[in-house]
Amino acid sequence: MYESGLMIGHFEPLHLGHMRSILDAAGQAKTLHIVIMAHPSPHPDFKITLQDKARWLQMACADLPFVHIHTTDEIELPVHESFADVTIDITVSNAKLKRLAEALNLPAKTVLFVAQNHPLAQSAFCKQLTMQIVTTTLQPEFDSYAIARNPVAHWSALHPQARSDYTKTVAIVGGESSGKTTLVHKLANYYGASFALEMGRVYVVTDLGGTEIGLQYSDYGPIALHHAQAIRDAKSAATAPVTIIDTDFVTTQAFCEEYEGRSHPFMAACIDEFRLDHTIMLDNNTPWVDDGMRSLGTPEARSRFEQRLLDIFARHYIEPHMIDQPDYDARYQQALLFIDQYVYGQQR
């Protein structure tokens, strides 16, 4: 058992292979220090920060008090498709390890954990490195390069703590009786995806007794807060690369303007701050059904509300993907085409 160990990596994204190597190293050292580096070539579709990666590992290792997480953007590791592509400069490597050891105040006999096939594990390099090398078991079923290049295709390999940052939110919006909620459940079932319910409708039941008769301007803030938390919860429990959202903050703002005659500044802030990845807007050209909570059933009211939605989207520089087929199944098929293309990168 070693007194102190060190692991260094990009961990972008954190996957199960990383964690198995970490557990292997943790079983060989009384204290394990993990240093997370910034990725020099991050994936263009995902905005991942050092703090995101630190949170993943902190949460994954929360019950392992002998594991300590660190970040640095001062030292870079090369990106390579395989270890065969790596060129080792012992002088540079020793300098990097010395700076890390000093910055982290590591004990003198700290060992460096690397995979068995890492070039530093070769005997020629081991003898020249100032820090002793200890190897971890290979995880051949997890190709870090392939996972980093296409996280969506390797969803099952991602660590659960990282998945919330790799799932894309798709909001389904539209006027009353446009089929939003039914479409949300159909899409969630098709993709095996997590979803967030329409919080305005939930709020009417939980706080207003089941009807909108008591709804007032001061209710829109709490509705927005509930919706933000519902989206966060759905992403945190993401079961697929897509997370489906029933309505959005734009829709809630539209109802506020419709019923209260004015915009809500907190709602406007939520639209900009809690930005969703994609928005599918359903045209108001399906039959209107009175379910006891709807009041915008006339053609004039439905047209006015749809235009209000479009105006608010434009105000916040959001371009929704419009689906205008009046047939419900056709809408479902068009939504599948959109998600397959823009989330999964697939063409039907």
Residue of 14 and 296 predicted with greater confidence? 14
pLDDT on residue 86: 66
Q: Average the pLDDT over 294-320 and give the result.
A: 87
288 — pLDDT class (breaks 50, 70, 90):
low
Kindly report the pTM of this predicted structure. Answer: 0.90
At residue 53, does pLDDT exceed 80?
A: yes
Distance between CA atoms of residues 276 and 292, nearest Å: 29
Q: Average the pLDDT over 95-111 and give the result.
A: 91
* Domains and their CATH numbers in the chain: 2-151 (3.40.50.620), 167-342 (3.40.50.300)
Mean pLDDT across the chain: 91
At residue 120, does pLDDT exceed 60?
A: yes
pLDDT on residue 91: 87
Q: Average the pLDDT over 196-219 and give the result.
A: 91
pLDDT in tens, 20-45: 999 999 999 999 999 999 998 899 99
Residues 6+ apart with CB under 8 A from 133: 111, 112, 114, 120, 121, 125, 126
80 — pLDDT class (breaks 50, 70, 90):
low
Q: Average the pLDDT over 127-135 and give the result.
A: 87
304 to 175, 179, 202, 247, 264: CA distances (angstroms): 10, 18, 24, 18, 19
Q: Average the pLDDT over 264-268 and give the result.
A: 97
Q: Average the pLDDT over 49-65 and give the result.
A: 97
pLDDT on residue 285: 79
Residue of 229 and 285 predicted with greater confidence? 229
Which long-range contacts link 203-210 to residues 24+ away (Cβ below 8 Å)? 204/293, 210/292
pLDDT on residue 238: 98
Could you identify the residue written with the tokens 């540079």? 92
pLDDT on residue 89: 79
Burial class of residue 273 (count of CB atoms within 10 Å of its CB; 0-12, 13-18, 19+) = exposed
pLDDT on residue 295: 62
At residue 52, does pLDDT exceed 70?
A: yes
pLDDT on residue 129: 83
Q: Average the pLDDT over 10-20 and give the result.
A: 97
